[in-house]
Structures are given as C-alpha cells and as structure tokens.
Structure 1
Amino acid sequence: MLKNEILNEISHIRAAVQQKAPLIHCITNPISIHDCANVVLATGGRPMMAEHPAEVEEITVTAGALALNLGNITDARRTSILISGKAAMERHIPVILDMVGIGCSHFRRELTEEFLKQRMSEAVKVPESPLVLKGNMSELKALAGADYHVSGVDVASGDVLSEDNRTEMIGLAKSAAKAYGAVVLASGKTDLVTDGEKVCLIDNGCEMMGRITGTGCMLNVLAGTYMSVGKPMAAAVAACVVLGISGEMAAGQCRGTGSFQTAFQDALFCMTDEDIRSRIRVTFFE
C-alpha cells in the first residue's frame, strides 16, 4: 500500500462516514464514554452507548459497527460484550475489541479468550467477519502468550516499539493477526497495524495525547466508526493517522491539558484532506 493509496482510502472513508452517518454501538468505559461519543459525532457518525445485557443484541444488529472496550469491567458489561460480539460477528458487522489491561488481570484475559472462542465458531465464519484487535504492545504480548511486562493499563517501558525490537514486535503482531483472522492495531508512540501480511507503522501524534485520559479509547471508537464504511486495515490506519494529526494540531493551540482537550475535538471536526496530506507519517512493509 503506497502513501497516495492510503491518502485516497482515508479521504474516501471520511467522506463516506459523513454521507452515511452510521450508527456506532460502543460498549466502552465510563471514564471516557463522553469523549468517545463526541469523537464519533465529530467525524459524522451516530454513537449509541448502550450496555445493558437485556438490550445490547437488539441494538448491535442495527449498527454499522461495534466498538468494545475492557477498560472498566462490570458483570453486566462483561455479559454485554459477549452478547454483542457474538451477534455482530454472526452477522458480519465490523467489530473492534480494545483489550485494555489484559496483561494485568486474569479476568480480562479470560474474557478476551472467551470472546475469541466465539470468533472461531462455525456460525461466525471468520473470513467474512471483520475484526480489529487493539491494544498496546504489552497487551498484544499478553494476547500472544509471550513474555511481557505489567504496568497497569499502560505499555511497559520494555515493550515500547523501538528499532531494537521492531522485527520481533512486527512478527508477533502478524502472527496474532493470522491466528485470529483479524487486523491487529498495536497503539503507542508509533502505532502498528497489520492484517498478517501487510504492515503499516504510523508516527503521527504528540506527547500531550498521553497527558489526558481516554485517547486510546477514542482511537478505538474512531477505528470502529471508520470500519463501518471501510476495510478493517484501512480503517485502523486511517483512525491512527487522523487521531494523531488531531493531537498535533491541538498541541500548537493549547495552554495545558484542559484547552488541549477542546482543541483536540476541534481539530478532529475541522480537519481537511490537505491537513492529512501535509502531516501524514506512515511507513509500509510487506
């Protein structure tokens, strides 16, 4: 995938969301639910933040995509994630799962494993069911059963993508993508996206994005929004690029974290194709 190709893909995806205004069902966490809803709205989608087990299947089957997040698990949210995930995958509705904290909690790892067992059932038919598995590098290593470091829900310093470990991390992400028939999005200072064959590294973003809560959750729902109209890998790359550029644009206009949040939302809403063309920083591998 060449730079001009991804620029065209991003432009098409952004325009399609604006035109279609897809319903995006988000089962996220209360820490970032307000910001996540606003991200979907800012890009042209319609957020639905329903999470009660009695209604989630009915809502999911009407949605353009399903965005799931393990950041704050309750009994009800756990049940709803499994119900909604199964309903979406059986109907080939795009799903993104943000595996927040699976490296520091057996409970979250077991929930992820149960979700992925549903993925492998005959009813789902893996190749036809779009799925993105999102996490930081520590969470990705936990998913893959590799040695990893625990640092709460943040990536451990030893797991940060670098020149020294890039080959290992790319191989790990590609193997996970192939194993689960999914696109893997490993977020960080450099984001990594792979479908098991192609790999894209995205270097957009800024330090201020790590100083506010919920930017990873926002990336999750933005990728979900873009998946409703685009292919999973292109949607994941587009989300990383657009959110990262929003942070860069906002950082030049803020005084601190409070004004950054406002400028960040404004940048996301006001971004043009030319802003993306002039700022995009991506590297592709086969």
Structure 2
Amino acid sequence: MVKLDLLHSFAQVVAAGSFSAAARRMGVPRSTVSLHIQSLEEALALRLFKRSTRVLVLTDEGRQLHSLTQMPLEQLTHALQHIQQDKGALRGTIRMTVPADFPTDPLAGAITSFSRSHPQLRFQLLHTPQRLDLVRENIDIALRVSDGSPPDAVERPVLEIGWMFCASPDWLLRQGCPQSLPTLRDFIAPDAGLRLYLERHVLGEGHLPEPAIEVDHLLMARSLAVQGFGVALLPAGMVEPLIAQGALARVLPQIALRASRLNLTFPTRADMIPRVRAFADHLVRALRYGG
C-alpha cells in the first residue's frame, strides 16, 4: 500500500514545479522529497517524472496519477484542517450518560449555558438505569454514583448525596411510625442493583425490608411515597422540598445512613480531551453551586 506522505510529496512537487521548491513549501530537506518520489516510483513500478538538472516534466503515468489523486488529497487536507480545534474554539460531540432518575433541571441548565458559550458543540444525552460500558458505547462522560469503575476509568467527585427514609403523613397516621427496619412495613424498594448498593454502602452492610413493591425509578418511588403507598429510601435532595411542604415526613431518623458520592466518570485519562474536560469543569460548578 502506498503511504499518503509519498503522494503528498508528489502533489507538492507538481504544484511547485521542482523538488527544491516543493521542499521549501513543505519545510523539509530536498533529499526527503527526492526520496519520497523515488519510493513512490518504486512502489508503483512507474516513472512519474522526466527530469534533468534544469527540467522536470510529468510522464503520462505521472499526469494520470496527479489527476486521480489531486481532489482526494485536497479533500483529505480540508477534512484534517476542519477537525483540528483552534485554541479556545470547542467543537464536536459530547456523548454523556446519566441515571434515568437524575433531576433534569440542573443538567439542562448546565448544557444550555455551556452551549451558548460554545455553539459548535453538540450533545448526545442518554438517561438510562443501565450502567453502560463507557468504551463499548463510546461515552465521553458518565454521571453516576460511585460503585467501582473499570481500572482505566477516571473518576472526579462532584457531590455527596445523603439518603432518607420517607413516608407521607397519611401513611404514618394509618400505619404508625416504625421504630426499626425489621418493623417497617410497605417498603417501596428500588431495583435489585440499587438495593444491593444501598445495603452495602449506605446502610453499612445492613438489610432493607422485603419490598411491598419494586420500582426501577427513584422518581416513581417518591411519587408512591407521596401518594401514601409506603416508605421509600430516597436521596435527600429529592425529598427535602417535599418535607418542607408537608407532603413527606422523615422516618427512622435514628438509623445512621452513609452518604454516597456522585462522580463524573471518564473512560480513560486519554479520553479527557479539551471539549470534554471543559464541559466537565462547567458541569461540576453548576451542580455544586447551582450555576
């Protein structure tokens, strides 16, 4: 297979009219250009130039090769220039995954404000309960609760998330206030994966009650709790406004619950390219400080 640098040197010689002029345009020694042309002729088993000490003329085969390669090489050069980022100009696509039940407003605000400053950027956002393989799925950033990542992944802490057992005042009037986990009834359980995480990391190897219902979405668990179905274990930020409004009440406050850490996770350190790193910085500020 003929190397592209040989074809590039050939095109530069044709455009400049001599090996010396081509070398000056390319910023390389004349001997490099001469070697490239010699290697190209040997690879193709063709004579591309008729040349003397003062004259350089394309052969018929040389003219055919130039005709065939001129446009593709120009297009390739233009494409390479297009994808190179100027300093301060971010372009391309950021592909991000977040938990299905992650609040949409702060994330939407961060993406909107960043896009206004960098209009050439595009986003692909995947809300999913699945823990996607970042390399296989071509993910640039994952916003997820820390629970062990592949060895090559890079994690950046964002927030500490507190947890609370909650129920509606109506449910507490009907069922009474439970005094311990074993006596807790009507538990609204998350899916098996999150339940295992909560038992290991939030309860410290404790055990959650048997579920009265199992859901794979924390917003659904919150809605069931507000409607009086039972008790849910939910992130504090998700329920504190409802507690302040009287729609929910905290249950079992005496149980020590550990905070979990929300991270930005990158597939590898090499994947933290400028546009990804810049957005990550912006997103961390937005989630920590609300702007």
Q: TM-score range by the shorter chain?
A: under 0.3
Q: Which has the larger radius of gyration?
A: 2
Name the TM-score, length of structure 2 as normaliser: 0.26
> Higher helix proportion, which one?
1
Name the TM-score, length of structure 1 as normaliser: 0.26
> Higher strand proportion, which one?
2
